[in-house]
């Protein structure tokens, strides 16, 4: 039976892992991810989940074990945060290049030093080029739904790439919300068992991950590139199909809110995207034509969807919960790159906000809006990158 429960983002990730019937889980605890692995351990030990749970001695080993298990035909799951994700870095490349559809819950946390256990995207965005599909969630229901959707996507024979499903530490990880946990039968019919096209099988011996010379290496990287393009096409389809079955969909790559007639669209990811909706409603009451768009998928990056937004918007304000030192916010870079070739590209301005878990409230977003609208009025962006709420 489907049931409505009230629980934290982390526990909900555990529920999704169970609903997806993961065969092997290998994970290592880190704040604020720990309750994900605790929840799974609880399910496994109580016999509510038929899975092998490997309590590895590091995140590097967690990913290596997932790679071994996935290569041997198991559906795998892991979860981590910040330093754990950074420690996995080498194996993230390995997982994607080995074309293993591992799904990982990333509980976004800032990188030290100084030690900071609160949210920003510096952990997962640093992994941009590892070949992982990246989803960003804005509430606990979306965490559940996206994990289930991710397995469908990743295990599609045209894709066979891993995905990280990110949610912000403490903001979602430790906040309880009502979540609909669908009927297992319905999940099963949406997500068939893992049936990999290549596997470590003594009856069909194959060497995986051989030494490869320049003569062939590039072709395999092109296959990965192609797989990501296939994923790009499948993401909205799978989201739609999920919506038809379970009554919830998220706009594929990009969730839009009151964007149709908006002069200014505020772009962000994760929970800042939810907060932006509140700001938009208030700003609309003030008669300002503002909308919000939340980027759900950072890789493959929704460049066409951003281009569609730019058809009507005259200005884009991009809020980044991460900074690329020596440049700007990574989301801002990608948005600009998506519109580079357009002569009629809207004005664009970037904001850095909410690093290391600093609150980004609708009031901050209204401040951002006021600045952006001023630029729109004069037709000139005075300050391309601005840090919000900085004490000086």
Partner 1 sequence: MDWLEEVKKMVKLKELPKEELLLPGNATCAGCGLSVALRLAYKALGPRTVLVIPACCASVIHSPFPNTSFASPCLNIAFEAAAAAASGVVAAYEKRGVKNVTVLAWAGDGGTADIGIQALSGAVERGTNFIYVCYDNESYMNTGIQRSGSTPYGAWTTTTPTGKRQHKKNVPLIMAAHNMPYVATACISHPLDLISKLRKAKEVEGSKYIQILVPCPPGWRFPTEKTIELGRLAVQTGMWALFEIEHGEFRLNGPSARLVDKSKRKPIEQYLKEQGRFRNMTNDDIEVLQEWVDKSWEHYKRLM
Least distance in Å: CB of 313 to partner 1? Answer: 45
Least distance in Å: CB of 167 to partner 1? Answer: 25
Toward partner 1, which CB reaches closer, 21 or 277? 21
Least distance in Å: CB of 66 to partner 1? Answer: 6
With contact defined as beta carbons under 8 Å apart, do 316 and 323 qualify?
no
Least distance in Å: CB of 188 to partner 1? Answer: 17
Toward partner 1, which CB reaches closer, 214 or 287? 214
CB neighbour list of residue 351: distance below 8 Å, 6 or more residues apart: 317, 318, 319, 320, 329, 368, 371, 385, 386, 387, 388
- DSSP characters for 112-131? -SSP--S--THHHHTTGGGS
Tokens 């005259």 found at: 314
- Using only the alpha carbons of the chain, give its radius of gyration: 21
Toward partner 1, which CB reaches closer, 57 or 260? 57
Toward partner 1, which CB reaches closer, 89 or 248? 89
Least distance in Å: CB of 18 to partner 1? Answer: 14
The b-or-e profile of 151-180 (16+ CB within 10 A means b, else e) is bbbbbbeebbbbbbbbbbbbbbbebeeebe
Distance CA 366, CA 87 (A): 37
Distance CA 128, CA 7 (A): 30
Toward partner 1, which CB reaches closer, 55 or 237? 55
Residues 337, 99, 82, 167: is their CA dihedral positive or negative?
positive
Q: Are strands 297-299 and 315-320 parallel, antiparallel or unpaired?
A: unpaired
Least distance in Å: CB of 214 to partner 1? Answer: 11
Toward partner 1, which CB reaches closer, 68 or 389? 68
Least distance in Å: CB of 17 to partner 1? Answer: 14
Distance CA 15, CA 147 (A): 10
The site for partner 1 (CB under 8 A) is made up of 23-24, 26, 50-52, 54-58, 60-62, 64-74, 76, 90-91, 94, 200-202, 204-213, 216
Least distance in Å: CB of 229 to partner 1? Answer: 24
CB neighbour list of residue 206: distance below 8 Å, 6 or more residues apart: 198, 200
Helix (H) or strand (E) holding 348: strand 347-352
Distance CA 103, CA 147 (A): 7
Least distance in Å: CB of 160 to partner 1? Answer: 16
Toward partner 1, which CB reaches closer, 50 or 229? 50
Backbone angles phi, psi at 340, to 5 degrees: -50, -45
Toward partner 1, which CB reaches closer, 192 or 209? 209
Toward partner 1, which CB reaches closer, 67 or 133? 67
Q: Are strands 290-295 and 297-299 parallel, antiparallel or unpaired?
A: unpaired
């Amino acid at each position: 039976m489907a049931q409505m429960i009230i629980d934290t983002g982390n526990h909900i990730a555990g529920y999704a892992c169970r609903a997806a019937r993961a065969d092997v889980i290998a994970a290592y605890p880190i704040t604020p991810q720990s309750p994900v692995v605790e929840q799974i351990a609880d399910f496994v030990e109580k016999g509510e989940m038929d899975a092998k749970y490997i309590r590895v001695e590091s995140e590097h080993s967690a990913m290596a074990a997932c790679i071994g298990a996935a290569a041997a035909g198991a559906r795998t799951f892991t979860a981590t945060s910040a330093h754990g994700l950074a420690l996995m870095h080498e194996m993230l490349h390995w997982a994607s290049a080995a074309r293993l559809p591992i799904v990982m819950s990333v509980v976004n946390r800032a990188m030290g030093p100084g030690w900071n256990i609160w949210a920003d995207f510096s952990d997962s965005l640093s992994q941009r080029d590892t070949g992982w599909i990246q989803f960003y969630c804005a509430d606990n229901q979306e965490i559940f739904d996206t994990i289930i959707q991710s397995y469908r996507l990743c295990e599609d024979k045209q894709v066979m790439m891993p995905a990280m499903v990110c949610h912000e530490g403490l903001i979602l990880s430790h906040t309880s919300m009502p979540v609909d946990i669908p009927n297992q039968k319905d999940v099963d019919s949406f997500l068939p068992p893992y049936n990999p096209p290549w596997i470590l099988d003594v009856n069909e011996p194959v060497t995986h991950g051989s030494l490869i010379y320049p003569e062939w290496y590039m072709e395999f990287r092109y296959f990965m590139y192609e797989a990501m393009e296939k994923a790009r096409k499948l993401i909205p389809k799978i989201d739609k199909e999920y919506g038809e079955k379970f009554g919830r969909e998220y706009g594929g790559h990009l969730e839009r809110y009151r964007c149709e007639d908006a002069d200014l669209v505020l772009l962000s990811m994760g929970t800042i995207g939810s907060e932006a909706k509140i700001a938009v409603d208030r700003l609309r009451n003030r008669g300002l034509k503002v909308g919000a768009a939340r980027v759900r998928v950072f890789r493959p990056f929704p460049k066409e969807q951003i281009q569609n937004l730019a058809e009507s918007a005259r200005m884009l304000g991009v809020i980044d919960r991460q900074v690329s030192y020596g440049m700007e916010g990574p989301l801002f870079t990608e948005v600009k790159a998506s519109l580079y070739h357009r002569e009629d590209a809207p004005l664009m301005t970037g904001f850095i906000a909410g690093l290391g878990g600093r609150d980004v409230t609708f009031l901050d977003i209204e401040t951002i809006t006021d600045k952006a609208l001023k630029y729109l009025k004069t037709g000139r962006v005075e300050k391309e990158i601005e840090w919000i709420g900085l004490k000086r």
